[in-house]
């Protein structure tokens, strides 16, 4: 048996720093802090994230296969561009994967899954019951609670690959939705839609839950597309 290699405290700290930088950088790209197509200069990133070039390069390399950054020959990294065509493409796949995942999740979910789903909905609904102004002030909390609710819906799906691909598509759709928020008025709370999806899932009506979730996601995509000219370039 080969000797066990022990991780030093310094190495453990370096891993934590690298994960933190990756998480923060990914979040900033998703919410539009960096404009689509913008160059990601190491000098600027070092100031923003207090990290070395090696750590930043590693984080950017992780985001390459996710399609959130691109590598320009001899010019370094830049934020991936966006387009209405890509949005429609990603949305169609996202809806299909999300629908399949919730159907399987509802069919396989046990009591612990149901309890987690009910709790996630409760946390989301508390924010969605607030006034428009309060919800705007707590936007980041809503984003996290919304992500947790959608993750809870599919948590019991037995296919790890389906969940992995669904999560990647969710991130891409979230990028479009969050960027578009800056160019559109705050719409009404979607609590009724979320509640209907939760009720179908808890009642173990798998196909109905899938249909409701697909309709919910399609409506979100159409809302983003209505404001597409405001935040993405016109096709050539």
d(CA 80, CA 37): 5
Integer Cα distance of 204 and 117 in angstroms:
12
Q: What is the pLDDT of residues 158-182, one digit of tens each?
A: 999 999 999 999 999 988 888 887 7
So what's the pLDDT on residue 181? 77
Tokens of 82: 């966006």
What pLDDT was estimated at residue 134?
Answer: 86
Q: Which domains does the chain have, with CATH numbers?
A: 9-79 (1.10.10.10), 84-231 (1.20.120.530)
Q: Which residues contact 223 (CB under 8 A, 6 or more apart)?
A: 180, 184, 187
HSE, side-chain direction, 13 A CA sphere, residue 134: 7
Query: Is the Cβ–Cβ distance between 94 and 172 less than 8 Å?
Result: yes
Q: What is the pLDDT of residue 150?
A: 97
Residue 234: its pLDDT value, please?
Answer: 60
* Predicted pLDDT at 166: 96
Looking at residue 228, its pLDDT comes to 76
Measured over the CA atoms of residue 112, residue 116, residue 118 and residue 119, the dihedral's sign is: positive
* Residue recorded with tokens 């819906």: 153
Q: Which residue positions in the chain have pLDDT lower than 50?
A: 10-11, 13
161: helix, coil or strand? helix
Residue 227: what are its φ and ψ, rounded to 5°?
-110, 10
Q: How many residues does the chain have?
A: 236
* Lookup result for tokens 């037995």: 158
Residue 217: how many other CB atoms lie within 10 Å:
20
Q: What is the 3-state secondary structure (H, E, C) of 7-36?
A: CCHHHHHHHHHHHHHHHHHHHHHHCCCCCC
Q: Give the model's pLDDT for residue 147.
A: 94
Q: Is 130 helix (H, G, I), strand (E, B) or coil?
A: coil
Please report the sign of the dihedral spanned by the C-alpha atoms of residue 108, residue 109, residue 112, residue 116.
Answer: positive
């Amino acid at each position: 048996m080969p000797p066990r290699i022990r991780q030093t405290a310094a190495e453990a700290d370096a891993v934590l720093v690298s994960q933190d930088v990756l998480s923060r950088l990914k979040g900033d790209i998703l919410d539009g802090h960096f404009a689509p197509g913008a160059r990601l200069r190491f000098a600027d990133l070092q100031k923003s994230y207090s990290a070395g070039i090696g750590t930043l390069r590693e984080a950017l390399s992780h985001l390459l296969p996710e399609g959130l950054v691109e590598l320009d020959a001899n010019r370094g990294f830049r934020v991936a561009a966006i387009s209405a065509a890509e949005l429609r493409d990603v949305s169609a796949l996202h809806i299909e994967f999300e629908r399949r995942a919730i159907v399987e999740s509802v069919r396989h979910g046990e009591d612990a899954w149901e309890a987690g789903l009910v709790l996630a909905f409760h946390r989301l609904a508390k924010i969605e019951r607030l006034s428009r102004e309060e919800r705007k002030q707590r936007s980041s909390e809503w984003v996290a609670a919304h992500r947790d609710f959608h993750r809870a819906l599919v948590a019991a799906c037995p296919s790890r690959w389906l969940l992995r691909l669904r999560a990647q598509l969710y991130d891409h759709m979230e990028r479009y939705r969050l960027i578009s928020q800056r160019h559109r008025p705050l719409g009404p709370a979607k609590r009724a839609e979320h509640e209907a999806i939760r009720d179908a899932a808890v009642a173990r009506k798998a196909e109905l839950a899938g249909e409701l979730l697909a309709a919910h996601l399609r409506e979100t995509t159409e809302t983003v597309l209505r404001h597409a000219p405001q935040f993405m370039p016109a096709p050539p």
